[in-house]
Amino acid sequence: MTTEALQTAQRAADELRSHTGVDSYKAAFVMGSGWAPGADALGEEGTEVPMSALPGFRPPAVTGHPGRIRSVRSGDRDMLVLLGRTHLYEGHGPAAVVHGVRTAIAAGASTVVLTNAAGSLDRELTVGSPVLIADHINLTGASPLDGANFVDLSETYSASLRAVAREANAELREGVYAAMRGPQFETPAEIRMLRAMGADLVGMSTALEAVAAREQGASVLGISLVTNVAAGLSDHPLDHHEVLETGRDAAADAGGLLAAIAAKV
């Protein structure tokens, strides 16, 4: 991380503290496409701040990403909920993509929970089901790291946090998430390639944020909500609005899972 990126994240965290009146946060939850209804289950809602009001944040550019940061109280813990994220395909570069995570960590968060909407490459990972991310394949062609910064990613997604999630829902399955640059959905040939590489899920986010969080020593939990079957595995064409609708229908139930996780991190 460059000095400039670190300083911008610190300024954003300082302003966030000023807006919310909270000195430090235990954890941060990044809510992906359609996940916003699940945020309501996380705890007692405090102040909500537009991301665009903080240094370094871009205004929301994608339907399903409200572009706000919410302060939430869960038991004796203060949490941050990022309602939306910047995607690499928006053209602002990796630093903008991971700025929310860096800001949350600068505000004290030692645990980062990344959620997303994903396509399923495994017929047993059904539409509407949450899936724990066990690992990822970064095919975006980008990294949030600068220079000779050799971050260990041998356990990008915390095994202990995945165990906490399974205590809340013993039926949770795990999978490998393939991160693509987008914004186009994948072709059937690309899906066949991803399956051959060992991917179970595919989407356009999360991987760079996970790398940035691990760079700063935060523990990471990733959860995909399966919102569609990947191209070539179904006769149904892919549509972003249907992805959002499916996410909204399932995210309220997934909110219970997030609340159980929030109580233990």
**pLDDT tens for each residue of 45-75:** 789 999 999 999 987 776 656 789 999 998 8
On whether the CB atoms of residues 148 and 240 are closer than 8 A, the answer is no
Residues designated as active site: 33, 65, 87, 89-90, 117, 204-205, 228, 240
> What is the structure's pLDDT at 241?
63
The mean pLDDT of 70-85, rounded to a whole number, is 92
Please list the alpha-helical segments (H only) found in the chain.
3-20, 94-106, 159-168, 188-197, 207-215, 240-262
Helix %, strand %, coil % for the chain, to 5?
35, 25, 40
**pLDDT tens for each residue of 233-256:** 555 665 556 656 665 666 667 788
Question: Per-residue pLDDT for 163 more than 80?
Answer: yes
List Cα–Cα distances, 115 to 29, 39, 120, 205, 210, in angstroms. 8, 11, 15, 9, 11
For residue 124, report the phi and psi dihedrals to the nearest 5 degrees: -80, -15
> What is the structure's pLDDT at 65?
60
> What is the structure's pLDDT at 110?
97
For residue 63, report the phi and psi dihedrals to the nearest 5 degrees: -55, 135
**pLDDT tens for each residue of 88-99:** 999 999 999 999
Question: Per-residue pLDDT for 182 more than 70?
Answer: yes
> What is the structure's pLDDT at 31?
92
